[in-house]
Amino acid sequence: MGSVTPSTILARELLPWQQRILLGGFTPCTTIDWPGRCAATIFLSGCPWRCPYCHNPRLQQRQRDGLLAWDSIVAALQAGRDTLEGVVFSGGEPTADSQLAAAIGAVKALGFPVGLHTSGAYPERLAKILPLVDWVGFDLKADYASYDALTGARGSAARVTQSARQIIASGVAHEFRLTWHHEVLSEDAAVLAAHFAQHLGARRFVLQEYRTEGVADSQLAEHAPLPARLVARVRQLFADCEVRGEICGLVGELDKLDSEGANPVDKG
Ligand code: SF4
């Protein structure tokens, strides 16, 4: 019989999904990740795509952040119960994690509405997740023809099409958003992407200004303001269209919890 150590006791106390879920970061409170709400964000690691402007490149690999435990996140959510209006799952691509549904169920059991950021890379898993969530932020990347080149993944356009249609058909509140940089998408390509979203049935569309924080590809020019002409062309396509200067789902540096589970600890 093996010896019993603190780590084995902890492992016995954790449910199997809690041991397997690939936690990659946690933001205790943000007003950006679920627009209009004060929310906490749980980041999961793993993404099959490689967008050049990815703001969370360290979350692309499927690996666990060993310093972040599920029970610490639960403690932080309970500590913020009076102010938090929801919990968002982000990434990486959160639907890449087979434990996502169990984690959403656990957060729901605590009484919080749940939001989801997704790129639509896993439509089959998304179909099972949609009935569990209250809001979806859908990250569109390009028009159909340009998709695979931008994500670096063959077949991504077809997956996005299937996922987007599922989101719209589900009736779950959602927004489509597109991050624009002139070296990644031309203005015409961005308008094509907006037409793609309109064709899929999107009603609310957000143009997000590129920000350099955390970006993997340092070759991109830092300054990429949204041209007024592009904004005007996109606004013509949607009754509900917003321009956003902040990046949703940006994993922070203050993403570790102390031993009490309630306060972020600076990694630096
Ligand atoms: S931007 Fe999103 S979909 Fe693209 S590589 Fe980063 S995490 Fe993946």
Query: Which pLDDT belongs to residue 215?
Result: 67
Nearest atom (ligand 1) to Cα of 53: 1
> Quick check: is 245 in a domain?
yes
Q: 50: which DSSP letter?
A: -
Split into its structural domains, the chain has a count of 1
User: Is 156 a residue whose pLDDT tops 50?
Assistant: yes
Query: How far away, in angstroms, is 47 Cα from ligand 1 center?
Result: 6
**Residue 257's beta-bridge partner residues?**
264
Q: Which of 33, 53, 54 to mutate to test the pocket of ligand 1 (most atoms within 8 A of CB)?
A: 54
Q: Mean pLDDT, to the nearest integer, of 2-16?
A: 55
CA nearest to 24, candidates 109, 122, 97, 110: 97
* pLDDT recorded at residue 66: 75
Atom of ligand 1 nearest to the CA of 179: 1
Question: What is the helix (H) or strand (E) element at residue 163, kind and residue range?
Answer: helix 156-170
Residue 193 lies in a domain: yes
In a domain, 267, yes or no: no
- Token couple for 38: 């004060």
> Which 8-state DSSP code applies to residue 210?
P
92 lines ligand 1 (CB under 6 A): yes
pLDDT at 39 over 50: yes
**If we measure between CA atoms, which residue out of 255, 266, 214 comes closest to residue 24?**
255
Q: Residue 87 belongs to a domain with what CATH number? A: 3.20.20.70
Query: pLDDT digits over 186-210, tens only?
Result: 999 999 999 999 999 999 999 998 8
- Number of other residues whose CB lies within 10 A of the CB of residue 233: 16
Band of residue 164 on the pLDDT scale cut at 50, 70, 90: very high
The residue segments making up the domain with residue 125 are 6-262
- CA pair distance 208, 193, nearest whole angstrom: 13
Query: What is the Cα–Cα distance from 151 to 259, expressed in whole angstroms?
Result: 38
Question: How far is the centre of ligand 1, averaged over its atoms, from the C-alpha of 260 (Å)?
Answer: 32
* C-alpha to C-alpha distances, 138 to 63, 165, 174, 249, nearest whole angstrom: 24, 11, 7, 11
Q: What is the pLDDT of residue 5?
A: 40
Output the pTM of the full model: 0.89
Ligand 1 neighbourhood includes 119 CB (under 6 angstroms): yes
Instruction: Identify whether 115 is preceded by a cis peptide bond (ω within 30 of 0).
Output: no
DSSP 200: H
Q: 111 vs 9, which has greater pLDDT?
A: 111
Domain membership flag for residue 79: yes
| pLDDT for the residue numbered 52 | 85
For residue 8, the CA-to-ligand 1 centroid distance in Å is 35
Alpha-carbon distance of 203 to 237, in angstroms, equals 9
Predicted confidence (pLDDT) per residue in 93-149, tens digit? 999 999 999 999 999 999 999 999 999 999 999 999 999 999 999 999 999 999 999
Pocket test for ligand 1, best of 93, 180, 181 (most atoms within 8 A of CB): 93
Ligand 1 neighbour 163 (Cβ under 6 A): no
Q: Indicate the pLDDT class of residue 214, thresholds 50, 70 and 90.
A: low
DSSP-based three-state secondary structure for 90: strand
Is 1 within the bounds of a domain? Answer: no
Would you state the structure tokens that stand for residue 195, as one six-digit string?
Answer: 């037409």
Report the C-alpha dihedral over residues 160, 20, 213, 29, rounded to 10 degrees: 100
d(C-alpha 195, C-alpha 153), whole Å: 22
Ligand 1: centre distance to CA 264 (Å):
25
Residue 169: pLDDT above 90? yes
Q: Quick check: is 268 in a domain?
A: no
Q: Which of 6-15, 204-213, 223-232 has the lowest mean pLDDT?
A: 6-15
Tell me the β-bridge partners of 116: 89, 136
